[in-house]
Amino acid sequence: MDQFANASVIARAPGRLRIAIAGLYHSERMKRRLEAQLARHPAVTEVVASALTGRVLLLFRPAVPADTLLRELGLAVPPAADDDPPAPPRVIPQAKPAMSNRTLYPPWHLLDANEALASYTSSARRGLSAAEAEQRLRHGKNIVLPPRQRSSFEILLSQFQNTPVVLLALSAVVSLLTGALAETVAIGAVLVLNAAIGFVTERQAEATITSLSELVDDRVLVLRDGMVMLILSSHVVPGDILVLAPGTRVAADLRLLQASGLRIDESALTGESLPVTKNVAALPADVPLAERDNMAYRGTAVASGTGRGLVVGTGGHTEAGAIEALTRSTERPLTPVQLQLDRLGNQLVAVSTALCGGVLAIGLLRRQAGGALFRSVIALAVAAVPEGLPAVATTSLARGLRQMRARQVLIRRLHAVETIGSISAICLDKTGTLTMNQMSAVAIRTVRQQFVPGQDAITGRKELDRLLQVCVLCNEAGTHEASAESPLQSSATERALLELARRAGLQPGRLRREYPLLGSELRAEGRNYMYTTHATPDPRRRLVAAKGSPADLLALCDHYVQDGQVCACDAEARERILFQNGQMSAERLRVLGFAYAEVSPEHAPEQDGVPPLTWLGLVGLADPLRPGAARTIERFHEAGIRTTMLTGDQAGTAYQIGKALRLNDGGELKVINSDALDRMPPELLGQAVNQANIFSRVTPSDKLRIVKAMQAAGATVAMTGDGINDSPALRAADVGIAMGSGTDMALSVADVALKHDRLDSLLDAVALGRTISDNIRKSVHFLVSSNLSEILVVLGAVAWRGESPLTSLQLLWLNLLTDVLPAIALTEEPAEQDVMQRPPRDPRANLVGNADMLRYAREAGVIAGGTLSSYAYGLLRYGSGERARTVGFDTLVLSQLAHALFCRSEHQSPFAADLPPNPLLTAAIVASSLLQGAVHLLPGLRRRLGLTALSSPDLLAIAAGALVPLLVNARAKPYSSAATKAKAERSTSLSTTAPVSLAASASMPGAGAARPAP
């Protein structure tokens, strides 16, 4: 037959081969030729070639050796990638990376594994030598530069690029054109001073926010000098051989050399939500990035399986590096709060402009003097500018980042600082979040007996010996995993089973050598068990080892072992096994079933599927609750946050754990099993997620569906997790929260990481998030109401007397004293005492609503009334002139400083004894008061501002005009007990939720999920 070059075997099994053949991709002619020629061989039973994939499925008689058949068919299969390449590769032209316009490397997916290895003079068996790796590291570390930080000049320039500053600048121009040189210089000085304050504040905040993208140097497994070792990911070099395991992040671009059930989540790169199955066969040159199954890319994560790959690109010379190079030229987007504050500032400027236009038009109609009229207009424009507004959000967010970091809560995305305080529902992954993730086997049940490891002898019985063997063989943990510090980490369950076998005297490494692994099928959507196939010392037999959900595994069994005898698994035995499962679940144990089968090679699972199994027994594993977890759940409920537990455990186990944690918040504890979830229509699911406390037997897609249903119902959802299976839901949640000890995959998609795995630190983060939101509102409250009071004072006086009682210079000085410093100081307010006893704020609501604006306007009217009253006193005593304006000016200054105290709490009196101190605000008010006093003591400055000396009656009038508005506004403040209101709202929410039938679920107590022991 003809020779077909560059054929490579993707997968092989007795009687079955899947082969990739160069030239077949998109060639219908070769497809027909292959099918016709390969089918002629007498051993071949079926040939299916595909021009879409470039692969051929070959079915043949199992008795014929695959290598012999390949030679006879004329398929020139190259030597395995484990062999060192004997010759240099063919020359291949340079190609552009799929996501970049730069030429970085050849099309590695086109090369076979040996050619790729030869390109870097590397070895699949030994990797690079330490000396060679050190030499290559000199050419650059495996890092991608973080997003470019704004320069000092750019930050300074940005201080003059917002609408309020533009309005001030226009006021300065108008002052210059009207000959008011002093006002022009003063406005310019204020612009410079505001820019200086904004620059210092924003520069510090920028440094804090930029720290979000600080490089975290993970450790990765690499093959060097023939040994697998753990190194920093930044020290990976081209030509290294990386070892891939479930849950690890891919540290560089790789040409895969080995792939055993390898599936990689590439959503971070391609947006594809489902993991991609990988293989090692060469591909045609024009295959798009998302379909390059023989490549793994930096920043993606291993979802399942194992593999090895040759590093072909590091740092910026990767697909991810090409994308990140684009982001460095892109400005960081504003957060929602920053955008709202920008809009608010623009709205205030628009209102001010309209008022200025109205005052100008009225003045012209009344034929007022041009100079006085323009001075009033300029004064009104100056009064409306909220100089401190741009700094509020930046300062608050930066402060929140620093405080959360101090509490070991690492924020990875800036929006999370705002959103975390608005969480109204939290989905808690059980393992590793609510429990310690420190599994230990504490109970074993066969059909008729029970054993306690450590107390009872668990060897010497056929069923127990075989069960312990299955614990070792049907296990994803490596035999080296003696502790949680192992570099290749599997689940705590797998490690606990391995440890059980060790304690019983088995040697896992030796056992696995006696029973080599031939194939495996891991747990997957719709299959709650795994099984492995092994060779045995008897070449005529194969061992199938299985473990998983007791009910699902029992359905595959037709026999069980008891006292060394194999018995038919009748209805009585099945009932007994399910009863045992319910008893163990009621003890809060994770329960796994174990079974096996011995079959001939031709009846192994890869040929006929899972054969009938023989039941061995149940193993119960205990995972202790985290200390204080129940109290943490209670505090979430007090804060108006609904808690829902998501777990892969059986309903009975989940119910008992939820009961211990008091997830029901005093109501009925409701559990929904995944099978009921699958049958539930979307409209019913929306009701169910508002009522169920626990979802059991959930898969990754179930978790994602639950999170999205909660969001559709209007909740702001947080999701906690630490494993690969949590990653889709972590990404979809409004705030994804990963445990610091979680898998790389979970950490890579989360918005927040809890460094010490303490769930109560999340409570601290929620409290901080709420405090940040509160303090931004307090600062905005102060700035808007203060500036409105200035506008009302000017408008009132112009309407009353036709001129402003305050000059533009006085208003500039006033804003300099009362805008920036008190507003920033209010962002440092301590948390209010009830911050975690009230419902969360809706993040979609406006920062300042219509009701808020009406309240601010009312307060501003009271302050303006006090100021105009003092001004009227001055007019009556001294007539129109500087002395009357001085009284009005000093009154407004003190009124606004006093109003800063009023804005410290939305529902507590400024005179409340239990209001926590704010030293920064105290310092700001004292400093501003001293500066105002200094104005009167410095003759030059006093003359420039148009002020005069004050008499004792004047001081009394000023004090009355400043304090009376504070008392009036304090009297009108809507005081309430937030804690009482929170409880009432939660109670109302529970009582008005539409009932949902959960009868379809077998997860409720009494429905057969977890029956008590007799």
Return the structure tokens found at 937.
């003591």
Q: Which of 112, 253, 265, 429 is catalytic?
A: 429
Q: Do 530 and 592 form a contact (C-beta atoms < 8 A)?
A: no
Q: Do 692 and 1000 form a contact (C-beta atoms < 8 A)?
A: no
Torsional sign, CA 100, 103, 108, 111: positive
* Integer angstrom CA distances of residue 609 from 520, 528, 579, 603: 11, 16, 28, 8
Phi, psi dihedral angles at 426 (to 5 degrees):
-130, 125
Question: Quick check: helix, strand or coil at residue 227?
Answer: strand
**Long-range Cβ pairs for the range 800-805 (8 Å, 24+):** 800/868, 801/880, 802/363, 802/366, 802/368, 802/372, 803/368, 803/372, 803/375, 803/376, 804/375, 804/376, 804/379, 804/380, 805/868, 805/871, 805/884, 805/885, 805/888, 805/889
The C-alpha atoms of residue 917 and residue 442 are separated, in whole angstroms, by 53
Question: Quick check: helix, strand or coil at residue 693?
Answer: coil
With a CB cutoff of 8 Å and minimum separation 6, the contacts of 398 are 204, 205, 208, 209
**Long-range Cβ pairs for the range 764-767 (8 Å, 24+):** 764/404, 764/407, 764/409, 765/404, 765/407, 765/409, 765/420, 766/420, 766/421, 766/423, 766/639, 766/641, 766/836, 767/421, 767/831, 767/835, 767/836
**160 in the Ramachandran plot: left (φ > 0), alpha (ψ -120 to 50) or beta?**
alpha
Residues 962-982 as b/e (b if ≥16 CB within 10 A, e otherwise) read: bebbbeebbeebeeeebeebb
> Which contiguous run of DSSP H or E holds residue 198?
helix 181-210
When computed from its CA atoms, the radius of gyration of the chain, rounded to whole angstroms, is: 36
* Integer angstrom CA distances of residue 611 from 555, 577, 687, 752, 894: 12, 20, 41, 45, 87
The C-alpha atoms of residue 122 and residue 611 are separated, in whole angstroms, by 43
With a CB cutoff of 8 Å and minimum separation 6, the contacts of 75 are 3, 4, 7, 19, 21
Return the structure tokens found at 49.
């070639």
The C-alpha atoms of residue 66 and residue 18 are separated, in whole angstroms, by 11
Task: Decide if 429 is catalytic.
Answer: yes
Q: Give the start-end residues of each E strand in 582-626.
A: 590-599, 613-622
Q: Give the start-end residues of each E strand in 536-609.
A: 542-548, 557-562, 565-568, 590-599
Residues forming the active site: 429
